[in-house]
Amino acid sequence: MRNDSNWTTDRRTLLAGAAASAAALLAPAKAFAADGLDAVRKAVAANHDEAVKRLQDWIRLPSIAAENKAMPEGAAYMAKLATDAGFQHAEIVPTRGHPGVFATLDAGAKRTMGIYFMYDVKQYDPAEWSSPPIEARLLDKEGFGQVVMGRGAVNQKGPQATFLAALHGMKKAGKKLPVNLVLVAEGEEEIGSPHFSDIVIKPNVLAALKKCVGVIIPTGWQSPATGGVEINLGAKGVVEFELVASGEKWGRGPKEDLHSSQKARVDSPAWRLVAALSTLVTPDGNTPLVDGFMDKVRPLTPRERELILLASKNLNEADAKRAAGVTHWIDDMSWEAALERLAAQPTINIEGLVSGYTGPGGKTILPSRAVAKIDMRLVPNMTRDDSIAKLRAHLDKRGFKDIEVNVSGGYDPTETPEDSDLVRAMQATYKRFNVPTTLYPRLAGSWPGVTFTGAPVNLPAGQFGLGHGSGAHAPNEYFVIKSSNPKVLGMDEAAVAFVAFLEEIAKS
Amino acid sequence: MRNDSNWTTDRRTLLAGAAASAAALLAPAKAFAADGLDAVRKAVAANHDEAVKRLQDWIRLPSIAAENKAMPEGAAYMAKLATDAGFQHAEIVPTRGHPGVFATLDAGAKRTMGIYFMYDVKQYDPAEWSSPPIEARLLDKEGFGQVVMGRGAVNQKGPQATFLAALHGMKKAGKKLPVNLVLVAEGEEEIGSPHFSDIVIKPNVLAALKKCVGVIIPTGWQSPATGGVEINLGAKGVVEFELVASGEKWGRGPKEDLHSSQKARVDSPAWRLVAALSTLVTPDGNTPLVDGFMDKVRPLTPRERELILLASKNLNEADAKRAAGVTHWIDDMSWEAALERLAAQPTINIEGLVSGYTGPGGKTILPSRAVAKIDMRLVPNMTRDDSIAKLRAHLDKRGFKDIEVNVSGGYDPTETPEDSDLVRAMQATYKRFNVPTTLYPRLAGSWPGVTFTGAPVNLPAGQFGLGHGSGAHAPNEYFVIKSSNPKVLGMDEAAVAFVAFLEEIAKS
C-alpha cells in the first residue's frame, strides 16, 4: 500500500474519538467466545512460532523494484508461500517489468474470494533504524506488546503473513476453507504497479478473477486508541513522474554543470524548471492550474457528503492535526472541509526537488539539469493517462516542450459500492469482532485496486484486516505479534478474523 | 579562486583567437635568453625535485573548510611553508572561523609586495577521479607534458607552490629579493571567505599591508592554444546563500515529511519555495527582479566598453561556446553583448535544489522542507550586505517572511585601476615573456580581492602568474610541471616569471 507511517498514523487518528461514540464496547478477547472459531483459534495458536518465523524469513528477503533487488527471488518465494499455505496451483507470471504470481486454492466451495498481495517493499536506509531493517527482530514496544520490526512489517508482509497464518490454521484444524481463493501478487507496488495489469489480463488469471466475489488486500491498521478501522469505498488514483529540465533537451543552457559566473550569458535549466512548476498550481500550492485538469472530476454524491459529515462528527480534529504534524489545514479550513478535500480534491504534489549541488554549503555552479519529482492524486472520473496528457499539453502550450515528463508509475482511482457483498462481509466481520468502523468515501492514499474494480475485471475491491502496525515507508516499521493493548488484536487473533471474513464471504 | 574547470576552460577560450593577432611570437624558451634571470633559472632548476615534492606534500594535506577538515593542520603547514621559503616572521591568525596566516619577508628593499594565498581546497569525490585526488601523482597528459594531478593542483596550491619555488630559487642563487613580501593566507576561500577580513584588519597585518604596492594571488591560467593570459581589472562580487522554506518556520505545512496524500489538506513548503523563487527573476531566469537589486549598478565606463569591444574582436565566440558547452547565449545575443553581460550583468543563479525525496524513482511524500542554493554575482557599486537586505525586504513584502535566507559566504566586487603600478608591472612582465595579454574590465567569477581593494586596505589587487592547470572544483584537477607545449611555461619557468614580476614591482 502506498501509505507511509504518517498516513497510517493519520488513519489511526481519523478514528480517534470514534471510541466515544461507540458505547460500552466489549474488549475483543471477550467478544468472540463461542463464536464457532475456537478450533481454528487453537490451531493458529499451535502454529504461532512457525507463523512468526514465516513472516521473519519473508522480511529477511527484501525485494525492491526501484533497486532491481531480489525480484526473481521474491516472486519465487511468494509462489512457495502460496503452495505451502495450500494453494494447489501457483505460477510465476512474467510481465514487461518484474514478475507477478498467480495462485489458486480450490476448496470445492460455492464462492471464490480474490486476494491481492505485494511481495515488494519500500527502500530503506539502515542508518535510520533502531533495529536492523532486514533482521526482523522481535521487540517489546511500549503500549503495543511484542512486535516484529523490519522493512515490510506492516506494508505489507505482516498482514499478508497473517492471512497465510489463517490458511495454515485451517489446515492444522483439519477444516476446509469456506471459499475458494484466487491470489494475485505483484512485485512493483512500491513503484506504482506499472505492469500489474499485465498479470490480471492473462487469460487464466482473468478467468479465475471473474469468479470472485471481490478482492482484498490484507491490512493491519487498527487504531491503538479505539481498535477501530476504516472501510474506504475507494481510493484516489495516483501518477508519479519526474519533470526534467535540461540543457540537453532544451538546446539552451549548459550540457554539463558550468561555473555559475556564466549565468550572465548562459540560460539556466533550474530557473526554467521553477518557471514551469510555477504554472502548475496556484501560488499557495493548493489548487492545480494545469489546463483542463479538473474537467473530469465527478462531484461528491449526497451519500459521500453524508459519510464525510458523519466522519467529521466522530473523528477528532486535534488528533488528526497532531498525527500529521501540522497546526493548520490549508486556508485554515474547517474540519469537515478538510475531510472533504481529503476525499475529493485532486492534488499536484512535489515529492522532491533535485538539481546541481545538493551537499552542505554551496558550490558555484550553473546546473545543466533540474528535476522535480511529482505525484498527482486523482478522483473519479479522472484517469492517469488523461491527466498526463493534459499536463503535457499544458507545458507545450506555454513553450515548455523540452521539459520531460517521465512517468514512473500510477493508476486510476478505484471505487467499490457500499452495497457490495464485499463491503457487507467486511462490516459483518468487524461487527462480529466488536471493532468500531467508519465508512469513508475514498482513501486519500492510493492502491492499485482499479486493476480489479476497473475493466476487464470489474470486481469490488478494498482493504480488510485487523491487528496493528505502523511505519510504512519510514524507519522502524513494525507489526504487532502479541498485543498488550486490549483494543488491538495480535497476529494470531487477526488470522482468526480472516477466517471469519471468509465465512462471511461464503454466506454472501 | 572561485573558478571551476569550466570557467578556467572558458578563460582559455576567451583567449583563443588572440594568437592570430599576436604576430610572430617567439617561443617562450627563446625569449628570455640574456634576460638577467639566468642565475635564478639555474637555481630553480637545481631545486626542481624539491619544489615538486613540496607541492605534492601540500596536496596530500587537504584542508576543507566546508567539512572542517584539517584546518589547524593546514594553517600550521602554511606557516611552515612561509618560514621555509625565507619569511622571517610567520604567525597563525585566529578568526571567528578557521585561522589564517600572516607572514613577512624583509629583504631590506624599498618596495613591498602583498601576496594572497589560500590553503584550503574544494571538496572532492575520489570516485570521480582517474587518479586518487590526494595522492598528487605525476602523470603524462597528452598535449601538456608532465602534470601533477590532485585536488588543489591549480586551485591554488600549484601556482602558490610555484611562487614559493621562486623564493627558494632566489635563496639558492644567493640573491636578495628585489622587494619585501607580506603574505596573507586564509583557509576559507572555498566557502566564500566569511572571516577573511578578520585577518587583514588585525593591526600588525593591516600596517604591513599598507606598505604594499598591491596584492596578487598566484595563478597559472595560460591558454594552451596561445600561451596568453588575461588581466582582469576587477572581479564581480558574490553572495552564496540558501533559501529555506520549512513547515517549522512557516507554521503551516508539515514539520516532518508527510504522506503525500495529505497534500489535499496540508500546505507544501516545496510549493512555497517555488512560488518565492519565481518572484526573484524574470520567467526566462535571466534578469533579477528583486526589488531595488539593480539600483546601485554603475554603468560601464567608456573605457570598459572599449576593452569589451577589443576583446570581442580578438576572441573566438565559437570556442567560448564550445568550452561552456552551450549552443546559444541568452536571448541569442551577439558575441559582444555576451562579453558585456559577462562583465556587467548582476546575476541570481540557482546552484542547487534539494527537497524531500532525491533518490531514484519517486516516493510519495509531502516534504517538510525545501532548499534552493543560490549565488548572486555583483558588480560595482553593489554590495553583498545591501543585496541580501534587498532580497530579505523583497521576500518580506510578498509575505515570505518565514523563508530563511542563510548566507554562507561572499564579498563585494573588487576593482583595480588600469593605471596602477600593479597592472603596469603585470603587463611589463608578460611582455618580457612574450605572453599575449587581454585586458578585460571584470572577471565574471569572484575572488575576495575586495578585502584588499576596499577599505581599510585600499590597494590594487589581482591575479598574476604563468604556467597552466585546469579542473578547479572538478575531478582530475591538474597543474603542469614540465610543459611539452611550447606556448605554456612549466613550473620552473613560471617560478622564474614570478621573480621577473617582483623585479618589475621593484622598478615601479
What is the H or E stretch that residue B450 is in? helix B450-453
Q: Is A205 in contact with A100 (CB distance < 8 Å)?
A: no
pLDDT over 60 (residue A23): no
Which of A4, A123, A270 is closest, CB to CB, to B353? Answer: A270
Residue A30 has pLDDT above 60, yes or no: no
Residue with cell 536506509: A125
Total length of chain B:
508
Range B276-292 average pLDDT = 98
What's the grid cell of residue B194?
566569511
**B14, B271, B294, B374, best to mutate vs chain A, most A CBs in 10 Å:** B271
Q: Is the CB of residue B334 less than 8 Å away from at least one CB of chain A?
A: no
Q: Of chain A residues 336-365, which have a CB less than 8 A from chain B?
A: 338-339, 341-342, 345, 347-365
Q: Round the average pLDDT of chain A to a whole number and report it.
A: 92
What type of residue is B291? Answer: D
**Out of B123, B273, B356, closest to residue A351 by CB:** B356
If you measure CA to CA, which chain A residue comes closest to B283? A275
A258, A416, B3 from A207: Cα distances, Å: 57, 20, 66
Query: Which residues are paired to A92 by β-bridges?
Result: A101
The answer to whether the CB of A26 falls within 8 A of the CB of A469 is no
Nearest Cα to B74, choosing from B195, B189, B192?
Answer: B189
Within the 192-211 window of chain A, which residues sit less than 8 Å (CB to CB) from chain B?
A: 192
Answer yes or no: is pLDDT of B188 > 50: yes
> Would the pLDDT of A171 be above 90?
yes
CA B334/CA B392 separation, integer angstroms = 34
Q: What is the mean pLDDT of chain B?
A: 92
**Which numeric CATH code is attached to A5-235+414-507?**
3.40.630.10
Q: Using CA atoms, how far apart are residues A492 and B42, in angstroms rounded to an integer? A: 89
The answer to whether the CB atoms of A267 and B251 lie below 8 A apart is: no
User: Taking residues A193-213, what's their average pLDDT?
Assistant: 96
Residue B32 pLDDT > 90:
no
- Kindly report, residue by residue over B485-501, the tens digit of the pLDDT: 999 999 999 999 999 99
| pLDDT of res. A31 | 45
- Inter-chain residue contact B258 with A363, CB threshold 8 Å: no
Report the alpha-carbon distance of residue A466 to residue B334 in Å, rounded. Answer: 70
B330 at interface of A, judged by CB pairs closer than 8 A? yes
Among A99-108, A198-207, A319-328, B458-467, name the one with the lowest average pLDDT: A319-328
Residue A141 region by backbone torsions, left for phi larger than 0, else alpha for psi between -120 and 50, else beta: beta
Q: What pLDDT, on the 0 to 100 scale, is given for residue B103?
A: 98
How close, in Å, is residue B100 to chain A by CA atoms?
A: 20
Is the CB of residue A344 less than 8 Å from the CB of residue A210? no
A260·B328 Cβ contact <8 A: no
Closest-approach residue (CA) in chain B for A286: B267
- C-alpha dist (Å) from residue B238 to A214, A255, B442: 64, 24, 13
B228 is written with which cell numbers? 596568453
- Position B29 pLDDT exceeds 80: no
Are B352 and A367 an interchain contact pair (Cβ–Cβ within 8 Å)?
yes
The per-residue pLDDT for range A401-414, each reduced to its tens digit, is 999 999 998 999 99
Please, which residues have CB within 8 angstroms of residue B455's CB and are 6 or more apart in sequence? Answer: none
Domain B237-297+346-411 has what CATH class? alpha beta
Q: Could you give the C-alpha distances from B449 to A354, B125, B304, B344, B427, in angstroms and in order? A: 33, 29, 19, 17, 19
Q: Which residues of B touch A329 (CB under 8 A)?
A: 265-266
To test the contact with chain B by mutation, choose from A363, A378, A400, A440 the residue with the greatest count of B C-beta atoms within 10 A, namely A363
> What DSSP letter does each residue of A118-149 carry, written as one string?
E-B-----GGG-SS-TTT-EEEEETTTEEEEE
In order, the DSSP letters of A352-368 are EEEEE--SSS---EE-S
Q: Is the ipTM of this complex over 0.90?
A: no
Q: Is the pLDDT of residue B443 over 60?
A: yes
Across B251-272, average pLDDT: 95
User: Quick check: A9 pLDDT over 80?
Assistant: no
User: Quick one: which H or E segment has residue B183?
Assistant: strand B180-186
Best of B120, B349, B371, B476 to disrupt the A interface (most A CBs within 10 Å) is B349
The pLDDT of A160-188, averaged and rounded, is: 98
pLDDT value of residue B34: 57
Task: Calculate how close chain A gets to B304, using CA atoms only, in Å.
Answer: 17
Q: B226: pLDDT confidence band, cut at 50, 70 and 90?
A: confident
Pairing status of strand B112-118 against strand A229-232: unpaired
| Strand pairing class (A369-378; A237-246) | antiparallel
Asked if A192 and A409 touch (Cβ cutoff 8 Å), the reply is: yes
Please tell me the distance from the alpha carbon of residue B349 to that of residue B236, in angstroms, as a whole number.
Answer: 14
Judge whether B314 is closer than 8 Å to chain A, CB to CB.
no
CB A237 within 8 A of CB A450: yes
User: Smallest CA–CA separation between B353 and chain A, in Å?
Assistant: 5
Query: Which phi-psi region, left, alpha or beta, contains residue A257 (left: φ > 0; alpha: ψ -120 to 50)?
Result: beta
Q: What is the mean pLDDT of the segment spanning B225-248?
A: 95
Most confident of A26-35, B123-132, B213-222: B213-222
Contacts of A409 in chain B (CB under 8 A): 362
Q: What is the pLDDT of residue A418?
A: 96
**Which residues of chain A lie closer than 8 angstroms to B265, CB-CB?**
329-330, 333, 338-339, 341-342, 345
The C-alpha cell at A311 is 466522519
The count of C-alpha atoms lying within 13 angstroms of the C-alpha of A169, restricted to the half-sphere facing its C-beta, is 30
Q: Which cell goes with A213?
A: 466475489
- Over residues B59-87, the mean pLDDT reads 97
Answer whether A246 touches B (CB < 8 Å).
no
The closest CB to that of A252, out of B328, B377, B409, belongs to: B328
Residue B455 pLDDT: 93
Nearest CA in chain B to A268: B285
Residues 408-467 (A) with a CB less than 8 A from some CB of B: 408-409, 443-446
Per the CB < 8 Å rule, is B67 touching A360? yes
What is this structure's pTM? 0.86
* Best mutation target, B154, B238, B263, B317, to test chain A (most A CBs within 10 A): B263
User: For chain B, how many helices (H) and strands (E)?
Assistant: 18, 20
Average confidence (pLDDT) over B81-89: 98
- Cell (9 digits) for A342: 481529503
Angle at Cα A20 formed by Cα A15 and Cα A24, nearest 5°? 115
Q: Does B7 touch chain A (CB under 8 A)?
A: yes
Question: Which residues in chain A have Cβ-Cβ distances shorter than 8 Å to B257?
Answer: 6
The CA distance from A292 to A391, in Å, is: 9
Tell me if chain B has a CB within 8 Å of the CB of A128. Answer: no
* Span A223-263, pLDDT tens digits: 888 899 999 999 999 999 999 999 999 999 999 889 999 99
B374 CA to centre of own chain: 18
Confidence tier at A21 by pLDDT (50, 70, 90): very low
The partner residue sitting opposite A278, judged by closest CB among B6, B274, B445, is: B274
Round the CA-based radius of gyration of chain B to a whole number and report it.
24
Give the start-to-end residue ranges of the domains of chain B: 5-235+414-507, 237-297+346-411
d(CA B310, CA B18): 11
- A355 contacts B352 by C-beta, under 8 angstroms: yes
Rounded mean pLDDT of A85-109?
98
CB contact under 8 A, A377 and B329: no
Three-state secondary-structure class, residue B481? strand
Pairwise CB contact (< 8 Å): A364 & B252: no
Q: Which chain B residues contact residue A266 at CB under 8 A?
A: 324, 326, 329-330
Does residue B469 surpass a pLDDT of 70?
Answer: yes
- Minimal Cβ distance to A2: which of B265, B277, B364: B364
Across the interface, whether the CB atoms of A330 and B267 are under 8 A apart is answered: yes
- Please tell me the predicted confidence (pLDDT) of residue A345: 97
Burial readout A101-134 (b: 16 or more C-beta within 10 A, e: otherwise): bbbbbebebebbbbbbbbbbbbbbeeeebebebb
pLDDT in tens, A368-399: 999 999 999 999 999 999 999 999 999 999 99
Contact between A443 and B261 using a beta-carbon 8 Å cutoff:
yes
Q: Cα(A264)–Cα(B444) distance, rounded to whole angstroms? A: 8
Is the Cβ pair B352, A375 closer than 8 Å? no
Indicate the residue of B7, B254, B341 with minimum beta-carbon distance to A326: B254
In this predicted structure, what is the pLDDT of residue A34?
58
Using 50, 70 and 90 to split pLDDT, how confident is the model at B383? very high
In total, the C-beta contacts within 8 angstroms joining chain A to chain B are 335
Chain B neighbors of A261, CB-CB under 8 A: 2-3, 7, 236, 342, 347, 377, 443-446
Answer yes or no: do A262 and B324 touch at CB < 8 A: yes
| CB proximity list for B363: less than 8 A, separation 6 or greater | A122, A123, A351, A352, A373, A473, B356, B357
